[in-house]
Structure 1
Amino acid sequence: MTTKRTLMGSAVGFGLAAGLATAAIAQDTTTLTIATVNNGDMIRMQGLTDNFTEQHPDIELEWVTLEENVLRQRVTQDIATSGGQFDVMTIGVYEVPIWAEQGWLTPLDNLPESYNADDLLPAVRGALSQDGQLYAAPFYGESAMVMYRTDLAEEAGVTIPDQPTWAEIRTAAEAMTDEENGVYGICLRGKPGWGENMALIGAMANSYGARWFDMDWQAQFDSPEWNEVLTDYLDLMTNYGPPGAAANGFNENLSLFQQGKCGMWIDATVAASFVTDPEDSQVADSVGFAQFPNKEGVDNRGNWLWIWTLAVPAGTDASEAAQEFVAWATSQEYTQLVAEEEGWRAAPPGTRTSLYENQEYLDAAPFAQMTLDSMNAVDTSAPAEGEIPYTGAQYVAIPEFQGIGTAVGQSFSAALAGQMDAEQALQSAQQITQREIDRAGYGEN
């Protein structure tokens, strides 16, 4: 009887100890909530995170994957109100300096030595730093370029030069349009948003010699240059673009191009790896590349620069674990992992010098040099031809631009949908922009 009680007591004691150990393990587990965008590179990253969790069994990952416009709205609202919903945020190069100055981001001062921040492209590292301190880590960087069907261009008897003008693009779009077979000469972003249609139209404006503001912070949508930009954009999309284009953003146009329905697609350089992927793209073996167009006589090719980054909000209580994840996802080792799993062509582009010194990557990615050249050509201190009081690229680097750009994008998208004409859309853009910029006090002495 005594023995039985002793054994039972031992069992109870062992069970209690095991329960306490389990509780301790559970207590030591950190869960990171990561907000990210639903594009191909980020989806690929999620599929490879077993590599991270195997190395960090004490860290669990929860994903909130959102469409681009929704992501921006959610993370901006959360960080501005100290909501604390996310431990890692996917944000762009536009937000990083603004949010860092507000004290909303944790400086990335806990990255391992093996991270090798000196390998980051100088322009990229500089754009994501303040006073020499990195506030976000680049997942991939991009400029913009023309992707086109070489077979359709040959059949149509047109040549797309390495440095095309918008007039040459229009000629090619007309020649390659074959609506009877469901092929449209050109696909461009139409979905409203400062980072959707206004990324494309903003870059297009720079390439036409237009600008958002003059030196007195007066909006310039009533200028001849902006009238030409929007008129030509609407002409291209109305005559040679796919139906329903006002709802098409990056992902929608990517799908159309991969299905062989676009003669040309002018968009982010990061798309190149997806349109040349034989597993997903029906036209992978017949894709050519050219630089972003300019208007003849304008020495500017769009000045598009974008970096999707991973940042740690200042309000998280899991900063150390969050920085460990950020370091993993933006490291040279992650690039190697992608190459091993999916080939060098799929490696995240536009962030590290070593990638463009890797002959395996250069051999696998025919678009690599053009991507690098396009990014290196960007001057964010002077994105427009005329004198301007702002910096940026396809965006204006002021906090108010997120709201202004989205409102203008809605007007331009409405014009594409036939709800107003170009003149009305430009008048709306002028009024919206000037009202908001005056309200914010720009241009006041």
Structure 2
Amino acid sequence: MRIPSRRRPRATLAMAAAGTLLAPLLSGCWVGAGGTGSGGDSINVLMVNNPQMAELQKLTAAHFTKETGINVNFTVLPENDVRDKISQDFANQAGQYDVATLSNYEIPIYARNGWLHEMNSYTARDPAYDEQDVLRPMRQSLTGDDGKLYGQPFYGESSFLMYRKDVFAAKGLTMPAHPTWQQVAGLAAKADGAQPGMKGICLRGLPGWGELMAPLTTVVNTFGGTWFDKDWKARLDSPEFEKATKFYVDLVRGHGESGAAQSGFAECLNDMTQSKVAMWYDATSAAGLLEAAGSPVKGKLGYAPAPVEKTNSSGWLYTWAWGIQKASRNPDKAWKFVSWASGKGYEQLVGETSGWPDVPAGKRASTYTNADYRKSAAAFQEMTKEAIESARPDDPGVQPRPAPGIQFVGIPEFTDLGTKVSQEISAAIAGRQSAGSALKKSQQLAEKISKEYEGR
């Protein structure tokens, strides 16, 4: 369930969000160019520099601007830098940027603090946008406490298990239709060494609330653990949390990739592509890269749902989405851009100009009925859609939660807490301490957050 607004006064939330989300800014860690000023027929858009956003930037002038007469001034930055710059501009309601890329972690927090323009009034007047076509978990994760939409997804993802079908066949291994983590551990042990230098599985060990803590938290959820119980009591010292963490650490240390403590998404992608690992549990968005033309493992991969223990599903939910700043001078024109960039027409445009594998999928039901897309993504598209639709951001575990989120806790303080905890667990993966020692230190960090929230 979501945090009721009465738990924390709005001013307190705003200060917490600004203080936590701006922490890197205040230490002078961000860089980036500013926009040239919005107003009239121009809007400013601040976005992350991933390949699909770069493609959007290339297509905008020749299509969106040509059709609407609205000029778009883009500022494009790496993920950490863009988050910092967005938090500064939106927290201060400076209005420099009309639109920014935000995830389903930030949008409910920003909405609660009054930093975002609601979008229901626009979707109600824009039937062609077809809001009901947006997958329900995506809509749910971008909805504020007041029941209004504050974001529209550009693309979405969940998590699942990827494995080498040829390696499994050669070793006589069978992937269950719905594997448990215990079964995966057994398969990893048997696949370890299947080819020279090949390890059984790749799991993120790189510190970061969005790196190591993303997959590990899904394991914690399905093992019956939680960061906080419904009364905000920290539970990192619970038997369930400890069992899940020890399992993860032992698995990656025993049968995981070389250099696991410094391996994140990019490193695991590289290991899978270069046949250094037989399995990989991570984002569904990785499949498009592994199955891309020219990939040495294209056609060799199988896909299975995120492994479970005590829950029916355990995949995470993530989206890069568009948010309109409440202080925007051009909210109507900003919506036109958002509706174009997240609409069905844009997906068709990308499919026709760049190829269907490049379509920013994972957000609309219609994508998964498009014959061209289904053909290009036949190996993984159905499994991806099922993973997203089965994600439960408000109820991801076996007990009630005080805040939404599957692979994160939807509070401003989690960026700092999650990163510090990840550093301790990464040290356990590196063999510098035990998992139990890592969690003892982590529990103390989480208890500081408990004191802020308990009783509110």
TM, length-normalised to structure 1: 0.85
Task: Name the residue aligned to 1:361.
Answer: 373
Q: Against the structure 1 CA distance between its residues 425 and 354, is the aligned structure 2 distance closer, same or farther, given a 3 Å change threshold?
A: same
Q: 1:309 offset after TM fit, Å?
A: 0.5
- Report the 3-state secondary structure (helix = DSSP H, G, I; strand = E; otherwise coil) of the residue aligned with 1:392: coil
- Taking the aligned partners of 2:170 and 2:54, their CA distance within structure 1 comes to 36
Offset, 1:270: 1.8
Partner of 1:293: 307
Deviations 1:72-105 (A, max 9, x none): 3442343223355533221111211221121101
Residue 327 (structure 2) pairs with residue 315 (structure 1) = yes
**Higher mean C-alpha displacement, 380-389 vs 303-312:** 380-389
Which structure 2 residues correspond to residues 400-419 of structure 1 after superposition, within 5 A? 400-419=413-432
Tell me how far 1:28 sits from its aligned partner: 5.7
SS of 1:48's equivalent in the other structure is helix
- Give yes or no for contact 2:167–2:194 (8 Å, CA) kept in 1: no
CA distance in 1, matches of 2:355, 2:52: 13
**Structure 1: where are the runs of 5+ without partners?**
1-25
Matching residue of 1:127: 141
SS in 2 for 1:382: coil
Instruction: Give the whole-Å Cα distance in 1 for the aligned partners of 2:196 and 2:85.
Output: 40
Contact 1:213 1:220 in 2 (8 A): yes
**8 Å contact kept, 2:394–2:401:** no
Which one-letter code corresponds to 1:213 in the other structure? F
Higher mean displacement: 426-435 or 227-236: 227-236
Looking at structure 2, the residues matched to 430 and 27 of structure 1 have their Cα atoms a distance apart, in angstroms, of 49
CA drift of 1:422 comes to 0.8
Q: Give the superposition deviation at 1:319.
A: 3.2
1:264 counterpart = 2:279: yes
SS in 2 for 1:284: coil
Tell which deviates more after alignment, 183-192 or 304-313. 183-192
Alignment correspondent of 1:14: none
1:76 and 1:27 mapped to 2: Cα distance? 21
Give 1:106 shift: 1.8
* Partner residue, 1:381: 394
* Partner SS state of residue 129, structure 1: coil
SS at structure 2 position matched to 1:386? coil
Q: CA RMSD in A?
A: 2.5
1:156–1:176 contact (8 Å) kept in structure 2: yes
Partners of 1:220 and 1:107 in 2: CA distance: 35
Provide the C-alpha distance between the structure 2 equivalents of 1:343 and 1:394, rounded to a whole number of angstroms: 31
Partner of 1:16: none
Q: Does 1:211 align with 2:222?
A: no
Q: Distance in 2 between matches of 1:415 and 1:397?
A: 26
Structure 1 position 202 matched with structure 2 position 217 = yes
Question: How many angstroms does 1:432 deviate by?
Answer: 0.3
CA-to-aligned-CA distance 1:407-438 (integer Å, 9 cap, x gap): 21222222223332211210111000111221
Stretch of structure 1 that moved more, 251-260 or 51-60: 51-60
Query: SS at 2:299's partner residue?
Result: helix
Structure 1 equivalent of residue 360 of structure 2: 348
**SS of match in other structure, 2:285:** helix
CA deviation profile, 1:281-338 (whole Å, cap 9, x unmatched)? 210110110000113xx13432411222011222333434432322221110111012
Structure 1 residues 219 and 27: alpha-carbon distance in aligned structure 2, compared to 1, 3 A threshold: closer
- Which moves more between the two structures, 92-101 or 27-36? 27-36
Q: Is the 8 A contact 2:57 2:74 kept in 1?
A: no
- Establish whether residue 390 from structure 1 lines up as the match of residue 386 from structure 2: no
* Matched letter for residue 117 of structure 1: E
1:59 aligned partner: 71
Q: In 2, Cα distance between the equivalents of 1:259 and 1:52? A: 39
Matched, 1:190 2:205: yes
**Structure 1 residues 325, 260: CA separation in 2 closer, same or farther (over 3 Å shift)?**
farther
Closer, same or farther in 2 for the Cα pair 1:40/1:272, shift >3 Å? farther
Instruction: Name stretches of at least 5 consecutive residues in structure 2 with no aligned partner.
Output: 1-37
Aligned residue for 2:336, secondary structure, equals helix
> C-alpha distance in 2, partners of 1:28/1:223?
56
CA 1:56/1:195 → structure 2, altered by over 3 Å: closer, same or farther? same
Q: Across the two proteins, how many residue pairs are aligned to each other?
A: 413
Secondary structure in 2 aligned to 1:181? coil
* Deviation, structure 1 residue 387: 3.9
In the other structure, the counterpart of 2:7 is none
Q: Is the 8 A contact 1:184 1:261 kept in 2?
A: yes
Query: Structure 1 residue 271: deviation in Å?
Result: 1.7
State the SS of the aligned residue for 1:220. Answer: coil
Matches within 5 A, 1:327-338: 327-338=339-350
- Quick one: distance in 2 between partners of 1:209 and 1:164? 17
Aligned pairs for 1:13-92 (under 5 A) are 30=42, 32-36=44-48, 38-49=49-60, 50-56=62-68, 58-67=70-79, 69-84=80-95, 86-92=97-103
AA aligned opposite 1:351: K
Residue 8 of structure 1 aligns with which residue? none
Give the CA deviation at 1:375.
1.9
TM-score (norm 2): 0.83
Distance 2:214 2:321 in 1: 17
Alignment of 1:85-104 (within 5 A): 86-104=97-115
CA distance in structure 1 between the aligned counterparts of 2:77 and 2:45, rounded to whole angstroms? 10
| Partners of 2:47 and 2:53 within 8 A in 1 | no
Going from structure 1 to structure 2, the CA distance change for 1:427 and 1:73 (only over 3 Å counts) comes to farther
Q: Structure 1 residue 208: deviation in Å?
A: 1.0
What residue in structure 2 maps to residue 21 of structure 1? Answer: none
Q: How far apart in 2 are the matches of 1:215 and 1:122?
A: 24
CA contact 1:303–1:380 (8 Å) conserved in 2: no
Task: Specify the structure having the higher radius of gyration (Cα).
Answer: 1
SS at match of 1:299: coil
What is aligned with 2:237?
A: 222
Instruction: Measure how far apart 1:113 and its partner are.
Output: 4.3
1:172-202: CA deviations, max 9, x gaps?
A: 2223233983433211222222222111111
